[in-house]
Copies of this chain bind each other. A is one copy, B any other.
Amino acid sequence: MKATTIHAPFDIRLSDVPEPTLLAPTDAIVRVTASCICGSDLWPYRGENPITEGSRIGHEFVGIVEEVGSSVSSVKPGDFVIAPFMYSDNTCPHCQNGIQSACSTGGFWGGHDHDGGLVDGGQGEIVRVPLADGTLVATPEVPDESLVASLLSLSDVMGTGWHAAVAAQVSEGDTVVVVGDGAVGLSGVLAAHRMGAARVVAMSRHAARQTIAREFGATDVIAERGEEGIAAALELTKGVGADAVLECVGTDQAMKTAIAVARPGATVGYVGVPHGIELPLRDMFVRNVGLAGGIAPVREYLPQLRDDVLSGAINPGLVFDLEIPLSEVAEGYAAMHERRAIKTMLRP
């Protein structure tokens, strides 16, 4: 079968690899309907993360179950399933506490599982799914093609934006500021809106992304950054600050902006992987601004978000602005790297 492999910075290939088979009774084999490229896939692509030459890549996919191990009971061949960006047993204490991203036996796609078996990446034709019962979430029936993009977004970006809003403790009637207009930030806007925020302020200076933010429920858009962006957000909140802030970038400037626009007592929900952040802890202490978040436990939110997509309550698939065949995966990476695309969907 074909699967995406990475060989060096800017060297992404679609390669012939062995077709996966069931290795454990808890495994499932899933034929990919659609996968996509994540902002975090660009780190190794750009050479910012170490690369194991020829390793698999991709961690977001939906597909049809082809085969299940003997102990798998929650999905069956023919089911349409959504895979979170990490697999998990959903039974260990951390999973039971709703933090499946810290699962004791879980892990990332494209690596090796706890028994040493190769775990396929998501950007391929077929994927062996470890711990299938604890990982996959099925839809009641194979969904209409028009819903595939939104269901695929639940694999990562929508679940991650949702986590930012959960961590920030967004409540009905809140004024929420979202820092970051990538696919996760836009999903955070949608999450805050869905949770009943009265005002959702998107910080974005890209026209196309501003448009999606407004479609997702943003009531205000701030194009300025840094001190000017902070001043604009504070002015919008009459100097008080926001009730909840979502930090969806991970840079020092984004975090400092998020903390500065939070009102005393507010929480910054952060899901951007921290890069070079120096927290202004004294200021946070004086103003009681909290910080919560981390690697999103997407599996925890999947059942609810799946139902929201199926009912039409949310349409997070709007973040995909480029759809190409899996065979052109290298162009998909280039388009995202060059910011020609917010998020690229791949169809095997």
Contacts and interface: CB of A to CB of B under 8 A. Distances in A.
Contact of A291 (B93, B94, B97, B290): B290
Contact of A289 (B264, B286, B294): B294
B273 A94 contact: no
Interface stretch (A13-21, A193-201, A276-284, A308-316): A276-284
B167 A290 contact: yes
B290 A93 contact: no
A191 to B, nearest CB: 17
A290 B288 contact: no
A39 interface: no
State the copy count for this chain: 2
A188 to B, nearest CB: 16
A285 B97 CA distance: 16
Interface in A204-250: 238, 240, 243
B293 A282 contact: no
B294 A291 contact: no
Contacts of A263: 93-94, 97
A76 interface: no
A288 B295 contact: yes
Contacts of A2: none
Contacts of A281: 274, 277, 279
Given A97-B243, A290-B291, A291-B292, 12 more contacts: A93-B238, A93-B240, A97-B264, A97-B265, A98-B265, A99-B287, A102-B264, A167-B290, A274-B281, A288-B293, A288-B295, A290-B293
